[in-house]
Structure 1
Amino acid sequence: MQRIGLDKNWDFYESDESMSFVFATPPSQKVDLPHDFIVGKPRSADAPGGPANGYFGNGEGVYKKTLDIPKEWEGKKVILDIDGAYMNLEVLLNTTLLAMHPNGYIPFQVDLTPALRFDGKKNKLKLITQSRQPSTRWYSGGGLYRDVCLWVGGPICVEPWNVFVTTPEIGEKEAVVNVDTVITGTDIEETVDYRCEILDAGGKVVGKVEKTMQVCGKQKENVQVTVENPSLWDLEHPYLYTYRITVSKDGEVTDQAEDTFGIRKIEVDAVNGFRLNGKKMNLKGGCIHHDNGFLGACAYPKAEERKIQVLKKAGYNTVRISHYPPSMAMLKVCDRVGMLLMDEAFDVWRLGKMPLDYHLYFEEWWARDIEYMVRRDRNHPCVITYSIGNEITERDGGNDGAEWSRKLAAKVREFDSTRFVTSAICGVFPEPEVEDDEEDSAGTNFDLNLMQDNSVWNKATENYCKPLDIVGYNYLRDVYEESHELFPERVMIGTETHSFTTYDYWKKVEELPYVIGDCIWAAVDYMGEVGVGKVYWENAHEDFNFMAPYPWRTSWQSDIDLTGEQRPQSVYREIMWGNTKKSGIYTTHPKHFGENFRGTDWHWYDVNDCWCFADEWLGRPVKVDVYGAGDEAEFILNGKSLGRKPIEKLMASMDIPYEPGILEGIVYKDGAEISRSTLVTPEEAAVLELIPEEKSFVADGKDLAYVRATLKDADGNRLTQDEREIQVETDGVGTFLAVGSGNPCTEDQITDTKCHLYRGTAIVILKSKEAGETKITVKADGVAAGSCVVEAK
């Protein structure tokens, strides 16, 4: 079928549509997709979603569009494809309600054909979305935040998701590509010609099968195509082929379907671990949420690609999408750049975690939503697992949890038996010890997590785990060995692990072949679950909580901040994963010298790449950490060696009296230098430097330009302690989208043209529908303005 994008020129307004017969419809505004109508709302301490949703607002978003349906489409099939809409989507065409879909992340398709008009009247499409809170444990966003398109095909056609490509036989000289196709015909049996071609990356046909067949209703067809000298898809060379299916009748083409796929083989067992094309590899994974920082939930392809490219550069080879399926844009970029992906269906089943979440709809919708996820995603070589659920309340077998696990796993395999089925399982809670007449209460959810009883975990979750190919362990590294003794054939993975003890988790992966990898929570900072990664200093006398008060906006548990920069724990993890040339040097502010701190274990040390403190700290001790893969580190201040310290668990520390200048850390292995890192005390702020990440971008209204603004002194040194406010101005064809810093706790309004720097930097994001140049100027008090030009082509 032909894909026709519907991303441009929607009429949007916020309204309670159920009362539109009483109240006037509010004025609409023109918007393009992807669109998140929540991210620009002011946040407040009393927002109904609370800290879980990042103190953002909620609402009901209505999208209207007049479809340009040509007369020649009469008799054809027209399908509406919605990649993601948050949530409780209602689809109306010409006032006829065709479908609804409660899940805010699962892709969804609607056949528009029965309601289309071909009598000269306009076809009016209306999509109603609800972002009602509390319905989520993270920032959800709202509206049509992913792609929307039409698929158009003849009366005999191949509908989207109705082709399944596998590669059951792979050799050096040839590979067998198995193609299952469902052809949709009419109620009358007809004779058609079917052709399946395999094209290489250059567009050359490298395999073909043709046959004549009878089609009536939905007809399944299976063919096998041999490809000689196959190029395999792997992480270093993610080679993509294209399948092209052509259906013809009486010599005329009635429909075509094509998409990319990869020739690759995945295997796993408890003895040899995970293998890609026969090569064993440990999964260096990270969990990511769907939001793209200052763009909210909008799944711009460039934003999705940038996220994956940053992670790949930082050493990751796997991402776990948490806790729902990813956007199609994310799947495409992982295919293209070579990143393994762990797909996930649900965060809840029948028992909810928030009052308005998916548990209200699970029993009616679970089977359809599993089918939608698997059928959409099964041709993507990046996908290696399907998770049937994250930290499901029924994991301990209660409320028929084991039976539901069996049903969901079977439903996944019904549509794809070539990937591994998993579920991310956390600890179980002890039975409360209360008298019959006492209130059964264990306190907050955070209190419950602290009370997890891992001594009974294996027994409690045994039946739940039986249908799984890989069992996901959330924060349960101390259970690995006992599990292996009880279930020696079980394959395990750390589906979520703590940042603060990442070294200990990774050692388990390296030592235990049945533990195939580790997924840190979290790889990229995200909005919602605010302040879980916050450090609590003893002298601050703050209450220790799972989440932080307003104006915290992000979780702060992550390797990468909202602007796309590595945080110290990411540098540490990159070294841990084998980059011996990498090192980092970080300091704790001298006001905390000798002070104790604590955190949730999702935190990291409260350190910064800074050697710039006020004069009151001159001569006062500063704790300095050097990260490296050697056996000792030398500390040098202003050219003078202060001695060496042994490196333990990739870190060496020294207390150094503060003296402005140049601080260096040199890492040695067996006496030879292998890496070094440097901090410089900057002079007065002089200029805002603007550097575009790319020289140009596409003028299609969807591609993005990212420009980093950095406050520097006259010698080019960054002022990492500066948080002054900046103002952005643009002149040209580009459209300003956002400016923001990595600060996890700020009242800066997302989508405003100003923000405060954090660690001396911020990111500016633009898009453009027109070709041409845009000049970006950033101003701040006390320094020269910075400017640059980006070009849309």
Structure 2
Amino acid sequence: MKISILKIFASLFIIIVCHAFTSSAQISVEKRREHILIDTSWRFAFGHPYDTKKDYQNGTGYFSYLAKTGYGDGAADPAFDDRTWRKLNLPHDCAVEQPFNEKASFSHGFKAVGRNFPDASVGWYRKSVFIPASDLGRKISIAFDGVFRNSIVWVNGNYLGTEPSGYLGFEYDITDYLNYGGENVIAVRADVTMEEGWFYEGAGIYRHAWLNKTNALHVIPNGTFVRSNLSANKAIVTASVTLKNDALVSAKFNIQQDVLDATGKVVASQTLSNLDLKVLEEKEFTLDIPLENPQLWDLENPYLYSLSTTVIKNGQIADLYKTPFGIRTIRFDAENGFFLNGKRVEIKGTNNHQDHAGVGVALPDELQYFRISKLKEMGSNAYRCSHNPPTVELLEVCDKLGMLVIDENRLMGINDQHLNDVKRLIVRDRNHPSIISWSIGNEEWNIEGNITGARIASTMQAFVKTIDTTRAVTAAISGGIGNGISTVIDLLGYNYVATKNTDEQHQKFPKQFSWGTEEGSTVATRGIYVDNRDKNELAAYDVRQNANFLSLEDGWKHYASRPYLAGMFIWTGFDYRGEPTPFGWPSVLSYFGMLDLCGFPKDSAWFLKSWWSDQPTLHLLPHWNWKGKEGKPIEVWAYSNCDEVELFLNKKSLGKKPMEKNGHLSWTVNYSPGVLEAVGFKNGKKISDVVKTTSDPKSVSVKQENIEVTKSDIAVLTVNVNDALGNLVPTANNEINFEITGPAEIIGVGNGNPTSLEKDQFLEEIGIVGISNLKEKTISHLEDVSELSTDVNGWVDAFKEDRNQEFGKKTKSLIYRGDFELPEWNDQTKITFFYKSIGKEQSIYINGKKIADKISADKKGNIFVLDRSVIKPGKNTIAILATPLLKVNSWDVINSDPGAFQVLKPALAWKRKLFNGFAQVIVQKAGEKGDVYISATSPGLKSANFKIKL
């Protein structure tokens, strides 16, 4: 046998690569595990929760997909024609695209989805993937990181399953359903009619989707668990891996576990030999790996190792599975709080939901870096996933940037579904060093203070410990303490201590760990300094919301003065959609954040930065634009960690004051335009902050925010306006128009305004118009046009008679007539007819004008872009003259749907009003290389033309 030089080099390359994962360079490799992102080229359209006609007749067949395997019908049928549907890429949030409506859900930000809006509450997604014939014999699955909500998935018409939760990822084995060497159709139906939480949750496939391929002997999904024990300068890394043998014969194999440092160098290894698994057997294997002089993961240096698991069978590598992990110790102490690597760390955390301005919950991965970096700038070191499992990417960012995490379960309960959901969360996330606690629940008011809650919490806590004993279990309590869940939970989470006596609880339960899972809950509008409840505006001074909540400052003082409390989590880090307490419509965002929905800081962020970081900080509020209030008193505050601060107005001292620890300073100043300056001293060093009276806006300015990744596919742009001297105008609310050129696109805009009802996204609009009242009549031949415009009274409903061979003997030609209703359009509107053959040969007429002449049946269908002279707004008629399609077998299904009309309106230009000086634009790379520019214009202002770095 002759072997080409190319094949020899390829074999040598494989051996060299394998050497990085195994000690033997003689071991060859079976087909590698593949983790393939399938986010691109999906089709999307809205269905309907109860009107089957609007839901593409899904589930209406004689045999449903629940009755017989492979009977997915309607949009779940692989033969379904989705050409009229919108093309898009994942992640996708179809809720954020919808308008605001006063009749929509208060808690979900008044977006027009949900029970009151059935036409926008079921989203269908379809995609075709090619599977090579060479993949036969491998295990293949599809995985979704998150679909909101109540998703149903089919592949090639085969029902795979239903996932009720919008937050848990799920994976289905599709090995035996596939068409190897051909196309395979994935269909997903998501239904958001019913809400899962009480905050904005989005809709659709809003996280990544994957195609996973492995050999028959493989590591199961999330099948590794890495933990470590430290002693002196040595760590024992305990590595567990669960393998499954999906072959129909038993398997013998070895497992090699390699620890790789951050550069990819193998620094420790161990091997398990002579192992076996029976047919379809699944089993966990564990070994200890000594590691000398380990580098620890901590907040300042979040060092990450990785575990490379190599499964070797018959001298070949059957599977390679890589697991990032960190080595660190964590410990809670009932008297002294939390310890990381033996050092007490005061928890300075924030609660956060998962949405962002412009994009809703469909966050590009790099946006997680932006958000976590903004929280770290504020001095925060901990993040609570409120109140649901987060994206994998969020946890990866927390691992890499150094942010501690409470990973939270969505719903308490003890049946198999509840406990299995908890298990899926923990098994997915347990290798992340950032996670320090599992939360089993939040504010379960109906049970948290009674024996039922105590029993449920005890069971769930015990169950969690069967999966992971390395982390504490917490639950957040907002009601009374001293009974129910608060008596049995290992790590008590206080939600709002204004109504609780933590000292009394600590004395009563001296061995219980505790921290503040929610505190502060102050409400403020960024850049507003006078309450105006008629406009739903709240001043950004730190004051108590009401008697049930402490101010931010008083809350922090409570926790900072009690070492037994490990720290606290502010409600919230970022504003979020929904829960616009204390208002309703037209407020659509919360007011709780230290940062607004875009990440622009409110003044309270500087209070936290003053006492949560060692960085010298001084911040003045409010702005100094108070035209019409000359001579009237203005409350001036300074947030600072300086030893003392002196305030000057137009260079005149208004007094020097010492700074109280964990406090702030205030002065009452009679307004005079000019310059207000604060000067502080920290350890003898001078720092200052200045606010100036500005003139009218003169120019638009664009700045690109830093994202801590090597190469980002997105850009976050801050937009503001400046006066003639270049000063940012903090009160500006100009509308800015945006235009982008180059290989990128705008994917969202925002400004943090809680009452803004502007569009988040400007997208093309697609309407789908079907054909109704389809009738038929026999004609003599295909050229017989005598019935094109006659009355259809007396015609029969189309396809009422079975298209068997007997029908073909008596009927040589037919005319079909139907109606379709077109909306008004403009010059940019494109109307396309996507035709599906209903005859062996056919001619098509619209409003009596021929658009196709004797075309043969085409399984792929035909596309006709319609000229305006053929169609009109309102009622139109279509006639199809055809020779009938006939069944060969009695069970054959003959197409009876002639297709639909797509009405496409191009997207409007992107724009957004500034809110108190700021707006945000999120840009995403479109794939090709080339320079990307954005122009930002506003009438009467000098425009900005900015080159984006991507």
Q: TM-score normalised to the size of structure 1?
A: 0.85
1:35-434 matches, cutoff 5 A: 35-47=92-104, 49-58=105-114, 59-118=121-180, 120-167=181-228, 169-185=229-245, 186=247, 188-212=249-273, 213-216=275-278, 217-346=281-410, 348-349=411-412, 363=415, 365-398=417-450, 400-428=452-480
CA contact (8 A) 2:412 2:440 kept: no
Change beyond 3 A, Cα 1:651–1:791: closer
- For residues 609-656 of structure 1, give each alpha carbon's deviation from its aligned partner in whole angstroms, at most 9, with x where no partner exists: x11122x22222222111223464322111111223454552222222
Q: Are the aligned partners of 1:209 and 1:225 in contact in 2 as well (CA < 8 Å)?
A: yes
**CA distance in structure 1 between the partners assigned to 2:678 and 2:935 by the alignment:** 36
**Which residues of structure 2 form unaligned runs of 5+?**
1-32, 59-73, 76-81, 115-120, 523-542, 544-550, 763-909
User: 2:40 matched to 1:8?
Assistant: yes
Shift of 1:305: 1.1
Match of 2:735 among 711, 725, 729: 725
Larger fraction in helix? 1
Q: Which region of structure 1 is more displaced relative to structure 2, 36-45 or 408-417?
A: 408-417
> Cα offset for 1:668?
4.7
Answer yes or no: is the 8 Å Cα contact 2:448–2:479 preserved in 1. no
Letter in 2 for 1:223: L
Maintained 8 Å contact 1:176/1:225? yes
Offset from partner CA, 1:489-521 (integer Å, 9 cap, x none):
111110000144222222232332221010000
Q: What amino acid is aligned across from residue 674 of structure 2 in structure 1? A: G
Q: Determine if contact 1:53/1:140 at 8 Å carries over to the other structure.
A: no
Cα distance in 1 for partners of 2:302, 2:710 equals: 24
- Distance, in Å, in 2 between the alignment partners of 1:345 and 1:485 is 29
Alpha carbons 2:365, 2:393 under 8 Å: kept: yes
| Greater radius of gyration (CA) | 2
- Give the one of 645, 660, 671 matched to 1:658: 671
Quote how far apart the aligned CAs of 1:552 are: 1.1
What is the aligned partner in structure 1 of residue 503 from structure 2? 481
Q: 2:767 aligned with 1:757, yes or no?
A: no
Report the Cα distance in structure 1 between the residues aligned to 2:300 and 2:401, rounded to whole angstroms. Answer: 8
Percent sequence identity is 30
Distance 1:345 1:166 in 2: 22
Aligned to 2:7: none
Question: In structure 2, what is the equivalent of residue 689 of structure 1?
Answer: 701
Equivalent-residue separation in structure 1 for 2:328 and 2:374 (angstroms): 24
Change (3 A) 1:674 1:423: farther
Residue deviations 1:442-467 (CA, integer Å, cap 9, x gap): xxxxxxxxxxxxxxx31x32xx2354
Counterparts of 1:713 and 1:564, CA distance in 2:
24
Partner of 2:930: 772
1:70 and 1:776 mapped to 2: Cα distance? Answer: 42
1:55-91 residue CA offsets vs partner (Å, 9 max, x unmatched):
4424111111112211122121112221111110111
Distance 1:393 1:642, change over 3 A: closer
- For residue 370 of structure 1, give the secondary structure of its aligned residue in structure 2: helix
After superposition, the Cα gap between the structure-2 partners of 1:8 and 1:316, relative to the gap in structure 1 and judged at 3 Å, is: same
Q: Deviations over 1:687-716 (max 9, x none)?
A: 1111122599999xx821111111011322
- Distance in 1 of aligned mates of 2:44 and 2:56: 18
CA RMSD in angstroms, aligned pairs only: 2.2
1:241 partner letter: Y
Amino acid at match of 2:739: E
1:326-368 CA-partner distances (Å, limit 9, x unpaired): 101101100111100100002x446xxxxxxxxxxx8562122
Q: Please name the residue that 1:437 is paired with.
A: none
Report what 1:522 is aligned to: 572
TM-superposed CA distance for 1:290, in Å, is: 0.8
Distance 1:669 1:254, change over 3 A: closer
1:574 corresponds, among 574, 599, 609, to 609
CA distance in 2, matches of 1:505, 1:655: 25
Task: Give the TM-score taking structure 2 as reference length.
Answer: 0.72
Read off the aligned partner of 1:563 and give its amino acid letter: C
Q: CA deviation at 1:408?
A: 1.5
Distance of aligned partners of 1:384 and 1:731 in 2 relative to their CA distance in 1, 3 Å threshold: same
For residues 617 and 570 of structure 1, the distance between their equivalents in structure 2, rounded to whole angstroms, comes to 27
Distance 1:199 1:502, change over 3 A: same
Q: Is residue 492 of structure 1 aligned with residue 514 of structure 2? A: yes
**One-letter amino acid of the counterpart of residue 573, structure 2:** A
Say whether the 8 Å CA contact 1:53–1:136 is kept in structure 2. Answer: no
SS at match of 2:593: coil
Q: Helix, strand or coil: the match of 1:75?
A: coil
SS of residue in 1 equivalent to 2:605: helix
Which amino acid in 2 is paired with 1:304? Q
Question: Which amino acid letter does the alignment assign opposite residue 680 of structure 2?
Answer: V
